[in-house]
Amino acid sequence: MTEKSYAPTKNEKKTKVDGTMKKQKIETPVQKIEKEIEEKSVETSENKEDKKLETKKSEVKKPTKKVKKDEVSINVKGVPISTKYSMSICRFIKHKSIEKAIADLEEVIQLRKAVPMKGEIPHKKGKIMAGRFPERASKHFIVLLKSLLGNANNHDVDEPIIIEAIPNMGSRPYGKHGIKRKRTHIIIRARSKKLNNKKKKKK
């Protein structure tokens, strides 16, 4: 037997079990307190997890109610397109359904349908006299109309028709070489077809 086998350390105590000597650790008061704190922390963490699960079960998401409207609108400022082209496009899409207006503007981009315009502008084939294919302006208007359509779907507007499309000249910032850039503020409003027909009959 060496010294280590029979001489216990400060925190160990020798006990005789079944004729053999076994070491038993003696816990100091500080170690006891630390152990109690650890056990309590484990219990509190488990309780917190249980509470979280209970709250998650109780907090079942209720379906949000859609606010039904008869009229929707968009108001966009500083669109980088010509105000002159915007005026003619607004006349072109007015009194049409949003889907029809988007389809027509897509044809304008493909150079199949011209937008009627006023002034000294070359004539185009078809029912119109003068017209052009404002591709860039049409792309911007398609984005606006799609957002208006999403707005109408969100508020349950039945068969929305564009009743108002107003372009206004915006503040024109300076670009390279002192050239003034084109900016336009656009307001588009759409109303449900049934309501629009009722108002027309009353008039």
Q: Is 36 left (phi over 0), alpha (psi -120 to 50) or beta?
A: alpha
Domain borders along the chain are: 8-53, 71-202
CA distances from residue 41 to 48, 52, 164, 198 in whole angstroms, order as listed: 10, 16, 66, 70
Instruction: Output the CA angle 126-143-158, nearest 5 degrees.
Output: 85
Q: What is the pLDDT along the chain (203 residues), one digit of tens a residue?
A: 455 455 555 555 555 555 555 555 566 666 767 777 777 665 565 565 666 656 555 555 555 666 677 889 999 999 999 999 999 999 999 999 999 999 999 999 998 888 988 887 877 766 677 888 999 999 999 999 999 999 999 888 888 999 999 999 998 889 888 889 999 999 999 998 877 666 666 65
**pTM listed for this prediction:** 0.63
CATH for 71-202 (3.90.470.10, 3.10.20.70, 3.40.50.460, 3.30.2270.10): 3.90.470.10
Where b means 16+ CB within 10 Å and e means fewer, 69-101 reads: eebbeeeeeebebbbbbbbbbbebbeebbbeeb
